[in-house]
Amino acid sequence: MNKIIITDSNAFENVIQVFESTLPNIKKIFESEQTITKEIDGTPTWTGASQKALYGKYKELERNFNPIVDSIEIYIRFLKKTLEDYKTLDKELSQKAEEFSEQLNVNS
Q: Judging by beta carbons within 10 Å of its beta carbon (0-12, 13-18, 19+), is residue 28 exposed, middle or buried?
A: exposed
pLDDT in tens, 8-21: 889 999 999 999 99
Which DSSP state fits 107?
Answer: T
Map out the domains of the chain as residue ranges: 20-101
List the alpha helices (DSSP H) in 40-64. Answer: 49-62
pLDDT at 7: 82
Distance CA 13, CA 76 (A): 10
Q: Tell me: pLDDT of 1 over 70.
A: no
Predicted pLDDT at 107: 63
Between the CA of residue 8 and those of 67, 94, 102, what are the distances in Å?
30, 16, 27
Cα–chain-centroid distance for residue 29? 16
* Residues present in the chain in total: 108
What is the tens place of the pLDDT at every residue in 30-87?
A: 999 988 888 888 777 778 888 889 889 989 999 999 999 999 999 999 999 999 999 9
The three-state secondary structure class of 42 is coil
For residue 106, the model assigns a pLDDT of 59
